[in-house]
Amino acid sequence: MRIESDFLVIGSGIAGLSYALQAANHGSVAIVTKRDISESATKYAQGGIASVYSDDDSFDAHVEDTLVAGAGICHEDVVRMVVEEGPQTIRNLIDWGVKFTTSGKSYDLTREGGHSARRILHAEDITGREIERALVEAVRQHPAITIYENHIAIDLITSAKIERRKLEQNRCLGAYVLDIQDDIVKTFSSKITLLASGGAGKVYLYTCNPDVASGDGVAMAYRAGATIANMEFMQFHPTTLFHPLAKSFLISEAVRGEGAILRRRDGTAFMEKYHKLKDLAPRDIVARAIDNEMKTSGDDCAFLDITHEPAEVVRNRFPNIYQTCKEFGLDMTKEWLPVVPAAHYLCGGVAVNFDAETDIPGLYAIGTPAPDDEVLVTANYKMSYDIVRQAVAGRNVWLLVLETYGINVWCAAGKGTFGTGELVRRVTGSGLAQVVSHRRLILPILGAPGVAAYQVAERCGFFISYSTIRAADLPEYLENGRITTTAMRQMTFTLYERMVLIPLEFVLACKSIALISGAGLLLAALIGSPAAVIPAFCAYLGAVLSGIVLGPLLLPWLPGRSFAIKGAITGLLWSLLFYAIAGGYGWNAAFTAAVFLVLPAVSAFYTLNFTGCTPYTSRSGVKREMHIALPAMGSAVVAGLVLLLAGLFL
């Protein structure tokens, strides 16, 4: 069974569901999840989400706290990006229906280990459950999202696996998925596959993860050829309830954030000797401290004491934790809770390479650009590249050149070479993320048909702005703060622009003129008519010039939208002129028909080439016209040659 979608999401936690909701605005989404859609690690999260959400906090402070907690091995640029996007992410969750706990007219912000300020938004002590509830409800209501519960992803489908060979550019095409209830394997094919399958806590004996966190997503990525890294970084939550029936029930870090103290069995508070933040130290330090105390004392667990806080405050702030502990015979307002560390969060997994390559293929500097200067994208076509370079001469910009194999932007966009895949390859291959400090790409408007902006953003993190149609307008566009005027968006194909292109097209046609003339000379020699070579050459050259020169010059006044039709009309005019000059009144019917079939077809072909230079009359570009016009041209030429040969022997 084959199921097709634009996006395939494997996993139904906060990562997968939030992505699905955003992706659904751009196409169809299939969500595959092992069990019930709400069964994920997200559901069991208690404390909350950290984000700068008050005037007393700052991005710099949050970044610094994160770098300290990460022991200096975090990628600072990524940390800053995540921190700065935090408030918008929170607003997205609120828009999707998440109800965070409020205090008066503002959100109730609490504090957890490693944080220097109150920046944790929460929904009582069941934050994950509330987030999962809202996101599940939102995806169930979205018409573009289909949910497949009780479906286990088995393996990723890649182009290398299908072709059974190593490819330089491998691509994920979807996944094979086991339908547990029907016991069949289904093929899910998609343009984009998101692996949001969670961690691997269940490989440990003690974990606060649900049973679905078995690490198979990482294994699938590894089998598909992805690099796996940092698997040694498994975060252990310091405080899970030590009880034979509790199945490692998590005691939120927020409990310590509200004043709880870790103690040995004899009552000694021990965190002071491990870190200056004491019980609010980062998780890894607290977990190692508890582990060390257990080993040195011989105790089975440590104890979390919040009995010094008012009982009513504790019950109101942590209703779920309080009630669950009561079910196990423990009253956290009156007695210490026995706690031990347990596997919690897989920090490693599928690697993302943040290192720039030593060389920078496809990326050029105009002037002396700085990291915050703009990146202009153009094509590997002499006129496209040269005109853009000349237009921005004297400015400091980056120029990212896509490999379009000598074809201009408009034509390449229609063919797909100026497209999403090539753009992403050039961005990642050039290490652009390490060269510039922003995430903006400026593309010509005529490149829009080949590029899906949202896919570029998803695949490499860069966002696209479409600038102008003409490179000459780029300086004004940049000075206006990347704002286009109406004139910049209007397509023109002036007489001057057409005259500039005419000699270029003629030079390109010289090779075909020489080849066809040589073939004509050979044919004339074979049939014993060398005298016919000169008039035949003149007829052919006239048709070429009709298509390359006359068609473009008369473009606005020739009827029809199709360039091929316009070229055929000028070719027909040349056929009439040639008929009169060459004494066509003495030709037989077959020869006359051959001339009036072949010459307009040749002229139409060369005028058709101008479709790749402009969408002036054909918004669909050269590809659609080729599909319609080329078969017609070919049929006319073949029929004409048959009639020509027939006329010679009749």
Q: Is 156 helix (H, G, I), strand (E, B) or coil?
A: strand
Options 283, 426, 470, 498, the catalytic residue? 283
Q: Are 542 and 578 in contact (CB under 8 A)?
A: yes
Question: ∠141-145-146 over CA atoms, to 5°?
Answer: 105
Contacts 24+ apart (CB under 8 A), 429-433: 429/357, 429/361, 429/362, 430/357, 430/360, 430/361, 430/362, 430/363, 430/400, 431/355, 431/356, 431/357, 431/360, 432/363, 432/375, 432/398, 432/400, 432/462, 433/354, 433/356, 433/460, 433/461, 433/462
| Axis-axis angle for helices 127-141, 14-23 (nearest 10) | 30
- Write down the H helix ranges in 527-620: 533-545, 551-553, 563-581, 589-608
| Axis-axis angle for helices 453-460, 420-429 (nearest 10) | 30
Q: Is 194 helix (H, G, I), strand (E, B) or coil?
A: strand
Rounded to whole angstroms, the maximal C-alpha distance in the chain is 121
What is the rounded (10 degree) CA torsion for 578, 582, 585, 591?
-80
Active site residue 283: yes
Tokens of 159: 């182009």
Instruction: Work out whether strand 363-366 and strand 151-158 pair parallel, antiparallel, or are unpaired.
Output: unpaired
DSSP output for 198-239: ---GGGSSSBSS-TT--SHHHHHHHHTT--EE-TT-EEEEEE
Distance CA 511, CA 581 (A): 27
Distance CA 382, CA 386 (A): 6
Q: Is the dihedral of CA 43, 44, 46, 52 positive or negative?
A: negative
Count of residues in the chain: 650
Distance CA 284, CA 237 (A): 8
DSSP output for 24-93: TTTS-EEEE-SSSTT-SHHHH--S-EE---STT--HHHHHHHHHHHTTT-S-HHHHHHHHHHHHHHHHHH
For 77, residues 6+ apart whose C-beta sits below 8 A from its C-beta are 354
- Per DSSP, 482 falls in state S
Distances from the Cα of 335 to the Cαs of 257, 260, 317, 464, in angstroms? 18, 12, 17, 58
Distance CA 31, CA 8 (A): 6
Q: Are 210 and 203 in contact (CB under 8 A)?
A: no
Q: How many CB atoms lie within 10 A of CB 485?
A: 12
Query: 114: burial class by Cβ within 10 Å (0-12, 13-18, 19+)?
Result: buried
Given the structure tokens 């710099």, which residue do they identify? 60
Beta strands in 207-356 (DSSP E): 228-229, 234-241, 261-263, 302-305, 337-346, 349-350
Closest C-alpha among 45, 491, 12, 500 to residue 237: 45
| Axis-axis angle for helices 589-608, 563-581 (nearest 10) | 140
- Positions marked active-site: 283
